[in-house]
């Protein structure tokens, strides 16, 4: 079976700027895939190339086995994109917007599905309201709805939760999870790494237009700087020198010390006791994606 998304050796230049420097990527059908990277890494550019909004300078991209240039009709039918920018057409109401979007995909009588999406996104009460009269978060939801009108097998969400309140964020993730369970392939970009960690099965990290990490979320978490022992030291206590290389971070009186295996903790505590360090509080933290991300970006 062809993958949901195939990106081969894709480059994109904007004048002197190399926005994408040879990206290779495959997303299998049914995956929940994360595309992470700092501002300007090229995430939106890659998504735009996939959607045919920009032309790649070289390389090829496919959606559900369809080349996005040569076979653009099939490729675009297979893809729903929630854009990063909050765009809307002020001439129309929410329902008109969705009816028009259905029509652009050649779908008539889409009312049932539109009602369902509106309901899922808590927009039913706003269905006949002009787009101008919606709050920012509501406009974002309409963008999500627009991306779904043609029931695309592949759904790409470019920072869908920026500026969205907690309740909706959770509702949105529930909905997107359900779509994923129903067989839709999901690609997500976000700067909220906890979101990516809890949702995505696999993650690509982009830096300056290149993929610098590509693995399952579990492997990424496992491969990086392991676990952290978080300590709050008593007043006047100083960390013994031999533990200094383990320091991940230190803020105020709190320290994070890395360890790879749990049996290292005993020895670490022994050192502290031997040095006469008082411990006010102690906590064992699991590695999180944020730490992994920071490590990857630093070393890449």
Partner 1 sequence: MPTGAFATLLYKEALRFWKVGFQTVAAPVLTSLLYLLIFSHALAAHVRVYDSVSYTSFLVPGLIMMSLLQNAFANTSSSLIQSKVTGNIIFVLLPPLSYREFFAAYVLAAMLRGLMVGLGVWLGTLWFVELNYAHPLWIVSFALLGGAILAALGVIAGIWADKFDQLAGFQNFIIMPLTFLSGVFYSIHSLPAFWQGVSHVNPVFYMIDGFRFGFFGLSDVSPWISLAIVGSCFILLSTLTLLMLARGYKLRG
Ligand X SMILES: Nc1ncnc2c1ncn2[C@@H]1O[C@H](COP(=O)(O)OP(=O)(O)OP(=O)(O)O)[C@@H](O)[C@H]1O
Residue 171 touches ligand X, criterion: CB under 6 A: no
Query: Which residue, 139 or 169, is less far from partner 1 as judged by CB?
Result: 139
**Per-residue x/- marks for ligand X, 35-74, CB under 6 A?**
--x-xxxxxxx-----------------------------
Q: Which two tokens stand for residue 258?
A: 């890395």
To ligand X, the closest distance from the beta carbon of 5 in angstroms equals 16
Report yes or no: 158 and 84 within 8 Å, Cβ to Cβ: yes
- According to the binding rule CB under 6 A, does residue 161 interact with ligand X? no
Partner from Mg ion, partner 1, ligand X, none contacting 17, C-beta within 5 to 8 A by type: ligand X
When the beta carbons of 77 and 246 are compared against partner 1, the nearer one is: 77
Q: Phi then psi for 20, rounded to 5 degrees? A: -130, 130
Which 14-43 positions form the footprint of Mg ion (CB under 5 A)? 43
> Which of residues 21 and 171 has its CB atom nearest to ligand X in the complex?
21
Please identify which residue in 3, 35, 44, 205 interacts with Mg ion, judged by CB under 5 A. Answer: 44
Beta-bridge partners for 251: 254
Q: Give the contacts of 16 (CB within 8 A, at least 6 positions apart).
A: none
Distance of CA 252 to the CA centre of its chain: 31
Instruction: Decide: is 162 part of the binding site for Mg ion (CB under 5 A).
Output: no
Least Å distance, CB 204 to Mg ion, is: 14
Q: Which of residues 48-87 bind Mg ion (CB under 5 A)?
A: 84
Chain positions contacting partner 1, by CB under 8 A: 14, 48, 51-55, 72-74, 76-77, 79, 81, 83, 85, 87-92, 96, 99-101, 103-106, 108, 146
Stretch that binds ligand X, among 34-42, 101-109, 120-128, 142-150 (CB under 6 A): 34-42
Subset of residues 14 to 33 that bind ligand X, contact rule: CB under 6 A: 14, 17, 19
Among Mg ion, partner 1, ligand X, none, partner that 162 touches (CB below 5 to 8 angstroms by kind): none
For Mg ion, the closer of residues 105 and 192 by Cβ is 192
Helix axis angle, 136-148 relative to 111-120, nearest 10°?
Answer: 140
Nearer to ligand X, 44 or 110 (CB): 44
* Residue 32: Cβ-neighbour burial (10 angstroms; 0-12, 13-18, 19+): buried
Least Cβ distance, residue 175 to ligand X (angstroms): 23
Q: How far is the CB of 94 from partner 1 (least distance, A)?
A: 13
């Amino acid at each position: 079976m062809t993958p949901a998304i195939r990106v081969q050796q894709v480059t994109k230049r904007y004048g002197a700027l190399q926005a994408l420097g040879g990206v290779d990527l495959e997303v299998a059908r049914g995956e929940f895939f994360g595309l992470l990277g700092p501002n300007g890494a090229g995430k939106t550019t890659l998504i735009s190339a996939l959607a045919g909004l920009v032309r790649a300078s070289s390389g090829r991209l496919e959606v559900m086995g369809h080349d996005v240039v040569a076979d653009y009709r099939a490729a675009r039918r297979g893809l729903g994109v929630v854009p990063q920018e909050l765009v809307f057409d002020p001439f129309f109401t929410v329902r008109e917007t969705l009816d028009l979007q259905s029509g652009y995909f050649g779908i008539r009588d889409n009312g049932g599905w539109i009602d369902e999406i509106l309901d899922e996104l808590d927009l039913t009460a706003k269905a006949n309201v002009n787009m101008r009269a919606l709050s920012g978060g509501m406009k974002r939801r309409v963008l999500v709805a627009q991306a779904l009108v043609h029931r695309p097998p592949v759904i790409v969400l470019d920072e869908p939760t920026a500026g969205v309140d907690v309740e909706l964020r959770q509702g949105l993730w529930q909905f997107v999870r359900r779509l994923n369970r129903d067989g839709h392939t999901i690609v997500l970009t976000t700067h909220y790494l906890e979101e990516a960690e809890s949702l995505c099965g696999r993650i690509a990290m982009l830096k300056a237009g290149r993929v610098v990490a590509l693995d399952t979320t579990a492997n990424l978490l496992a491969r990086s700087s392991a676990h952290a022992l978080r300590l709050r030291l008593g007043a006047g206590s100083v960390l013994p020198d031999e533990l200094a290389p383990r320091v991940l971070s230190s803020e105020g009186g709190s320290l994070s010390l890395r360890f790879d295996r749990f049996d290292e903790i005993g020895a670490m505590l022994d050192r502290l006791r031997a040095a006469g360090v008082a411990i006010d509080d102690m906590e064992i933290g699991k590695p999180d994606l944020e730490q992994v991300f920071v490590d990857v970006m630093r070393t890449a």
